[in-house]
Structure 1
């Protein structure tokens, strides 16, 4: 038997970075390495195709252990997290019954969303009836105007419930700044409210009453470094306000809970949470030497921004990878949004699936058994350091300009994040960012209008008075286009006129069907026609509104003018590809081309306007 302490692969000679680069350069055959293999992230830094040990030499983050400052590897020595599910409290007794039911189905963290009109000692007692608050995590969210009252009611309830107050874990989501960001509603004298809430719950050391809801930024389309940089400035604003009001900073820090969104950029999200703990620890250390105060309490909720109405079951794939990122990154709790959240109040099936997505990670994949498995990964350590640098630069910029609250009141934060969301939607329109089922590989015959039941709600406490975040999802413009098609008197039909080179016509027909189905058009594919005239005749017989000529670039110079002449004004002629003769064809009045460089949304919108579906 081989020596069990022998290192693996010792029989292989080490390969230097220079040798690797020589091999890569040779394989590139003269192509530029940086242009071909190095890509630039939305966060503004470059990512190489390979990393080696030398790339992480000197990084301080690689020397710490889980539970050690600066907590890049986690604030604890294990990777256990709470499985959280939110409950909209519309009926107190029904909410209590639902809570008891899902606690028996794997949930160990409850998130009650309660209207301010229902905030009373009697209702809280009914809501928490028969729930062992020492065994789970209990979280509450209500209107900011009722949060102080709710904090006092909860403190009184726990004190009278004959429980060990040190074992009561959870939070109250009081976030006046987030309220202004998301709803444009200002809150006067937040520092006073901070003091009242902290004082009311001082007997509950593991119950946090102040929130930094960075998930708002995520749901508005912020890039990862923006969400992190603004979240740090947001948390620092709370500390600064509390300090100015004479509160103990360490106590305030121990009362802050960060609620982050988590998107589908798998490795970047892992790095984001690792960097978040590290940077927050260093910020708090500037105020106090209390090591426990420097531990970030981080909750992750899967992103709303990239969820879709069409092909909604794909949302489960997105939320699964998002939950994986958060779990591997060592967050304290996770909420997985049900896949149908975008179009209805989630039902029992979708909520069960959302719960089970986390339970699978725990019980079958054993994610909670290993702490920070990404530690030492050259790639992830590089991402952690890079996103930390970008977020820290943004944090310092916000601080130099007066702090986070000043930036919110000036609209700087809202503009920055909304511009990022606009840029990302533009990338989706051009398929530079893919949302399966929306801008790529749609379910051709799906209809969704009948299933949309979700309505926006407002707490109604006052009118908006400031700029707000734009929560338009990435798929929203494609969905609006497709829903307009559903409402049209006639569903447009796109006919593939396949002719000539067999391989090219089949590939381009497949591409074109996928392209046009993103608008909800009916697509008719064909194996091929002997002549253009036969293809046009078949298209007219089928009642085609759009005829797509699918052939090879070399054949378009001859075939496209014939197709135009045969079609006349009976349908829109589209050429699939980007042939060298495109300018000559345009001069002959053939103006529509679709290819991989085409803006999908813009092109389909123009077609829908020509067809009278859109104004």
Structure 2
């Protein structure tokens, strides 16, 4: 071998060793570490490896034939602006290959507000479709054969009026309730853990869950009463084991609740379905879905279920929204495709693939089409439907499946040790575990220990080029909905409506009648969604939950990182110059309940040396301005993921000016480039989009405080990313 070849080989060896070191670090940074090599020894004594598809413990799938007879159902989670626009999107999706519909409602609808109520105005139509009356629901499904098309509705807090409107709209078109097929999510417990679109406290909300399940069991045998969701736990930051454990803890509570009302375990479990997120850790995600069936078969049996249908878990999956990047968004096509393959290899019964532009806004029509075509290509071109559970027998996959199941069982024991899932929610245990997981993940991304192509590694020179995004005219939608509400009220019999709503209130108070049955009467009389909710509010006030900020996780994970240490030193330097800690108030305005980003940023800023306070969820601009006057923060950071930031931040700036409050306002979250320019023009000092490293946020906030104190300083540029 020549000297030159020896030198080249040496350089290659060093490079490979460095790469092995990086890859090994990434493996160990995962919540479930992977071994570099698996052998037959890893699957010794695993009982489940001898099972068959369609047979207990169902790890290989709930049906014997799986996709060889019928592929998974292609669903499209859709809804934006008003009913007419969403109806067009539904019909287009069905024409282009979708086989079932999943409805995304806007935040006011999910929170039980009509579009003309003050609390709702900025959010109407922004993150889903606005539904205020049964006539809106009729327009939403116009031209769609409800007796043939399965409909899934992501609805929890306002499940009574929304499901009632769906039933009445179908009934008035001649489709009896018994012919409707689909699923209502009705999974209220996870709302108190992550998604936050609750209305009432847990106890009355569980009664609503039970009334819905009992009504559907009698009147709508083809419609599932519960879809227990793990997806939102993953989106909020939970690792795969925590996602499964919390999902099954909630499911077990629902089974116990319904059985206590006289339903049998078989009857309850046979009508349960599950909803999981599928993230970027390919092998673990496949194993997670296989393990989910293994764990559920044991839980269902322990609850008293005996039938195969009750013990066989059926699931819907959605590719990860959180894994999508606003920088170089075309890369999201690859991410979504691989995540979709993990869902298929894991044995899902239906699947939604996210559009590649959803980190920027609601999906555009071309992006939604590509997302559907991705599934059609997997079904019809790639041969993925030809073999049942093709990973069965793999040393790695079977060992990993067993490992995930074992870890999930152990965490379920921990939840019981907290006093059960309700106690774990109320004590803050659940929020703490999810927040710690999300914060660690963010620290690993910011440190480059978890690679995100185009964000913290392999960044294209045009990564920050402006990208097109779907624009919703929220003011137009809100005005339109307000007119429709007024017209509906003008044409109805007010006495009949009042009597129906009074009956609903009495039933909430005395517990003697089924709330869904009575809500259907209200909707037939043309009560609005908000009026039905307010009838219940007479008895049950809106629930308020306060979340604490959990410190020391982010800083500990990045303690040895020079960029993070430099940012912390800058905060300390500014604190010394102004003679106190830098104060930040983080606010969630309007009806946006997604708080992963706000919580992680709050924790990291605290670790960096800021004095941080979190405003209440669903705050108004006025109440936030009042809080700013009382706390005198240097900076108010508005976290926005719902698209209502322009309206709400403009109101906040006006309220601050009226009070003479001098806080600097910044905005973080999903903010398209055009919106960021608009916000800056209105007086917002800085905008932090998705993927902004937290050390960059820390440095820029410290610079803003110095500017506010009239000291001579220039805002530091973000640290360059490694290639």
TM-score above 0.5, yes or no: yes
Q: Which residue of the other structure, out of 369, 380, 385, is the alignment partner of 1:363? A: 380
- Other-structure match for 2:212: 197
Equivalent positions of 1:282-297 (< 5 A) are: 282-287=298-303, 288-297=305-314
Q: Is the 8 A contact 1:109 1:138 kept in 2?
A: yes
Query: For residues 474 and 313 of structure 1, what CA distance do their matches in structure 2 show?
Result: 28
The C-alpha deviation readout for 1:379-436, integer Å capped at 9, x for no partner, is: 1001100111111111111022222222112111111011111101111111110111
The C-alpha deviation readout for 1:86-112, integer Å capped at 9, x for no partner, is: 221532233223212210101011111
- Other-structure match for 2:546: 466
Equivalent positions of 1:81-160 (< 5 A) are: 81-114=72-105, 115=109, 117=114, 118=131, 120-142=133-155, 144-145=157-158, 147-155=159-167
The C-alpha deviation readout for 1:302-355, integer Å capped at 9, x for no partner, is: 112222111111111111111110011111111111111121221111111111
Q: Does 1:67 align with 2:54?
A: yes
Deviates more, 1:95-104 or 1:114-123: 114-123
Equivalent positions of 1:35-46 (< 5 A) are: 41=28, 46=33
Q: Is the 8 A contact 1:85 1:355 kept in 2?
A: yes
Q: Which residue of the other structure, out of 305, 321, 326, is the alignment partner of 2:338? A: 321
- Other-structure match for 2:266: 250
Q: 1:40 to 1:395 in 2, by over 3 A?
A: farther
- Other-structure match for 2:409: 392
Equivalent positions of 1:576-591 (< 5 A) are: none
Query: For residues 175 and 670 of structure 2, what CA distance do their matches in structure 1 show?
Result: 54
C-alpha displacement of 1:519: 10
C-alpha displacement of 1:119: 5.4
Q: Please tell me the root mean square deviation across aligned C-alpha atoms, in Å.
A: 3.9
- Other-structure match for 2:188: 176
C-alpha displacement of 1:263: 0.5
Query: For residues 472 and 427 of structure 2, what CA distance do their matches in structure 1 show?
Result: 30
Query: For residues 463 and 92 of structure 1, what CA distance do their matches in structure 2 show?
Result: 29
Q: Is the 8 A contact 1:485 1:519 kept in 2?
A: no
Q: 1:365 to 1:406 in 2, by over 3 A?
A: same
Q: Is the 8 A contact 1:155 1:201 kept in 2?
A: no
Query: For residues 367 and 156 of structure 1, what CA distance do their matches in structure 2 show?
Result: 40
Query: For residues 354 and 45 of structure 1, what CA distance do their matches in structure 2 show?
Result: 29
Q: 1:466 to 1:606 in 2, by over 3 A?
A: closer
Structure (1 or 2) with the greater helix fraction: 2
Q: Is the 8 A contact 2:448 2:456 kept in 1?
A: yes
Q: Is the 8 A contact 2:97 2:376 kept in 1?
A: yes
Q: 1:342 to 1:48 in 2, by over 3 A?
A: closer
The C-alpha deviation readout for 1:367-389, integer Å capped at 9, x for no partner, is: 22322111111110011001111
Q: 1:88 to 1:125 in 2, by over 3 A?
A: same
The answer to which structure, 1 or 2, has the higher relative contact order (CA under 8 A, 6+ apart) is: 2
Q: Is the 8 A contact 1:172 1:210 kept in 2?
A: yes
C-alpha displacement of 1:247: 3.2
Query: For residues 204 and 465 of structure 1, what CA distance do their matches in structure 2 show?
Result: 34
Query: For residues 261 and 470 of structure 2, what CA distance do their matches in structure 1 show?
Result: 45
Gaps (5+ residues) in structure 1?
1-32, 489-517, 521-599
Query: For residues 181 and 29 of structure 2, what CA distance do their matches in structure 1 show?
Result: 37
Equivalent positions of 1:214-363 (< 5 A) are: 214-287=230-303, 288-363=305-380
Q: 1:386 to 1:449 in 2, by over 3 A?
A: same
- Other-structure match for 2:440: 423
Query: For residues 327 and 604 of structure 1, what CA distance do their matches in structure 2 show?
Result: 38
Q: Is the 8 A contact 1:38 1:46 kept in 2?
A: no
Query: For residues 158 and 519 of structure 1, what CA distance do their matches in structure 2 show?
Result: 44
C-alpha displacement of 1:73: 0.6
Query: For residues 161 and 437 of structure 1, what CA distance do their matches in structure 2 show?
Result: 50
Q: Is the 8 A contact 2:151 2:183 kept in 1?
A: yes
Query: For residues 473 and 85 of structure 2, what CA distance do their matches in structure 1 show?
Result: 22
C-alpha displacement of 1:273: 0.3
Gaps (5+ residues) in structure 2?
1-19, 115-130, 479-528, 534-541, 548-592, 605-666, 678-689, 704-712, 719-723
Equivalent positions of 1:472-491 (< 5 A) are: 472=597
Q: 1:273 to 1:482 in 2, by over 3 A?
A: closer
Query: For residues 70 and 361 of structure 1, what CA distance do their matches in structure 2 show?
Result: 27
The C-alpha deviation readout for 1:141-167, integer Å capped at 9, x for no partner, is: 34523x123334444566676679887
Q: 1:381 to 1:143 in 2, by over 3 A?
A: closer
C-alpha displacement of 1:206: 3.5
DSSP-derived class of the 2:596 partner: coil
Query: For residues 383 and 223 of structure 2, what CA distance do their matches in structure 1 show?
Result: 28
Query: For residues 184 and 165 of structure 1, what CA distance do their matches in structure 2 show?
Result: 27
Q: 1:440 to 1:295 in 2, by over 3 A?
A: same
Query: For residues 178 and 50 of structure 2, what CA distance do their matches in structure 1 show?
Result: 32
Matched residue count:
473
C-alpha displacement of 1:39: 8.3
Q: Is the 8 A contact 1:306 1:475 kept in 2?
A: no
C-alpha displacement of 1:483: 9.9
Q: Is the 8 A contact 2:230 2:275 kept in 1?
A: yes
DSSP-derived class of the 1:366 partner: coil
Equivalent positions of 1:20-31 (< 5 A) are: none
The C-alpha deviation readout for 1:55-104, integer Å capped at 9, x for no partner, is: 21321211111111111011112122111112215322332232122101
Query: For residues 545 and 454 of structure 2, what CA distance do their matches in structure 1 show?
Result: 37
Which structure is larger by alpha-carbon Rg, 1 or 2? 1
C-alpha displacement of 1:464: 4.2
Q: Give the TM-score, by structure 2 length.
A: 0.59
Q: Which residue of the other structure, out of 602, 612, 615, is the alignment partner of 2:715? A: 612
Query: For residues 142 and 672 of structure 2, what CA distance do their matches in structure 1 show?
Result: 48
Query: For residues 347 and 473 of structure 2, what CA distance do their matches in structure 1 show?
Result: 33
DSSP-derived class of the 2:144 partner: coil
Q: Does 1:381 align with 2:372?
A: no
Q: Is the 8 A contact 1:307 1:475 kept in 2?
A: no
